[in-house]
Structure 1
Amino acid sequence: MFVHKVDEDLSLKLIDYQDAEELYNLSDRSRDHLRTWLPWINFTHSPDDTKKFIQASLQRYADNDGLTVCILYHGKIAGVVDFLEFDWGNKKTSVGYWMGADYKGKGLLTRSCRTLFDYAFQDMGLNRIEIRAAEENIKSRGIPERLGFVQEGVVRQAALLYDEYTDHVVYGMLAEEWNSNR
C-alpha cells in the first residue's frame, strides 16, 4: 500500500478495496453532514456500495483517467480527495472532495489538496485544476479560496440537488500561478 506522508498527523493513500468498510462507516456516521451537498450518500447503504465506488475509482486510475486518495488522519480515514478525470490533451483535471463530520475544522482538506496539487502540477505536468462548489456551500468554497484559486465565474443551475437547481462557483488554478505562489 502506497502512503504519502503530508505531515506528522496526515497522510494520503490510493483508495483500495481494503478501505471499503472503514470508508462506508465514516460516510454512514457523516450522513447528515454530507447529505446537504452530496446526494450520493442517499444511495450508499452498505460497504458493498462503497466497494463499487472503489472499483470505479481503481478502474479510472488503471486507465490513467482519475486518482482517488483517502485522507488518513492519525492512520484513520478522515475523507477523500478525487481527481475526477484527466483531460490529457489539455493537461487539466477537476477535483472533488469530502470530509467526515468528525474531522471538520482541522484543515485536513486544505493540507491534503495542497499536497495533491503540488503533485499534479510538478510531477504529472498538469496545467490547470478546476474546483466547482455550490454557491451556498461556504465550507467547500473555502478550500480553493485558501489555496489561492481564482474565482472564474458562476455556472447557473449547474446541478439538480433534491429537486432544486444549484449554482456552482468555478475556481481555477494554472500551473504557472501555483508555482509562482510556492
Structure 2
Amino acid sequence: MFVHKIDEELSLKMIDHRDAEELFELSDQSRDHIRTWLPWINFTNEVEDTRNYIKFSLKRYAENDGLTICVLFHGKIAGVVDFHEIDDKNKVTSIGYWMGAEYKGRGLLTRACRFLFSYAFDELGMNRIEIRAATENVKSRGVPERLGFRQEGIIRQAAKLYDEYTDHVVYGMLKSEWNKASS
C-alpha cells in the first residue's frame, strides 16, 4: 500500500479493499454529522455497503474517471477526498470530500486538499478543478475559500437533500491561478 506523508500527523493513500471495515466504522460513528449534507449515509448500513463503494471507486480509477483518497490522521482514516468526473479531454475534474465527526475543525481537509490539488494540476495534468457545496454548508465551503478558489456562481436547486432542494455554490480553480498563488 502506497502512503504519501504530508507531515508528522497527516498522510494520504488511495482507497483499497482493506479499508472497508475502518471506513465503515468511521462513517457509522459520524452518521449524524454526515447526514446533514450527504444523504448517501442513509444507504450505508453495513460493511458490505462500504465494500461496494470501494469496488465502485476502484473501477472508476481503472477507467481513469476517478480517484478516491483516504485522509489518514496518525495512520487512521479520518476522511475521504474523491476526484470524480475526471474529464481527461478537457482536463477538468471536480471533487467531493467528507471528514469523520471527531476529526473536523483541525484543518486536516484543507491540508490534504492543498497537496491533492497540486497533484491534480502537476501530475494528472488538470487545468481546472471544481468544488460544489450547499450554500448553507459553511464548513465545506471553507476549504475552497481558504485555498483561494474563486466563487463562480450559485446553481439553484442543484440537489435534492431529503425532501428539499438545496442551492450549490460553485468554486473553481485554474492551473494558472494555482501556480501563481503557490509560487
State the TM-score, normalizing by the size of structure 1: 0.99
Give 1:3 deviation, angstroms: 0.6
User: C-alpha deviations, 1:20-57, integer Å up to 9, x for none?
Assistant: 00000000000000000000000000110000000000
Q: For residue 175 of structure 2, what is the aligned residue in structure 1? A: 175
Cα root mean square deviation, aligned? 0.4
Is residue 85 of structure 1 aligned with residue 92 of structure 2?
Answer: no
C-alpha distance in 2, partners of 1:113/1:103? 15
Q: For residue 38 of structure 1, what is the aligned residue in structure 2? A: 38
C-alpha distance in 2, partners of 1:26/1:124? 29
Give 1:145 deviation, angstroms: 0.1
User: C-alpha deviations, 1:127-166, integer Å up to 9, x for none?
Assistant: 0000000000000000000000000000000000011000
**Structure 2: which 5+ runs fail to align?**
none
Q: For residue 118 of structure 1, what is the aligned residue in structure 2? A: 118
- Over the matched positions of the two proteins, sequence identity in percent amounts to 73
Kindly tell me the number of residue pairs found equivalent between the two proteins: 182
C-alpha distance in 1, partners of 2:124/2:22? 29
C-alpha distance in 1, partners of 2:169/2:123? 27
Is residue 107 of structure 1 aligned with residue 107 of structure 2?
Answer: yes
**SS of residue matched to 2:90:** coil
C-alpha distance in 2, partners of 1:63/1:125? 16
Code of the residue aligned with 1:26 in structure 2: it is L
Moved over 3 A (4+): none
**Structure 1: which 5+ runs fail to align?**
none
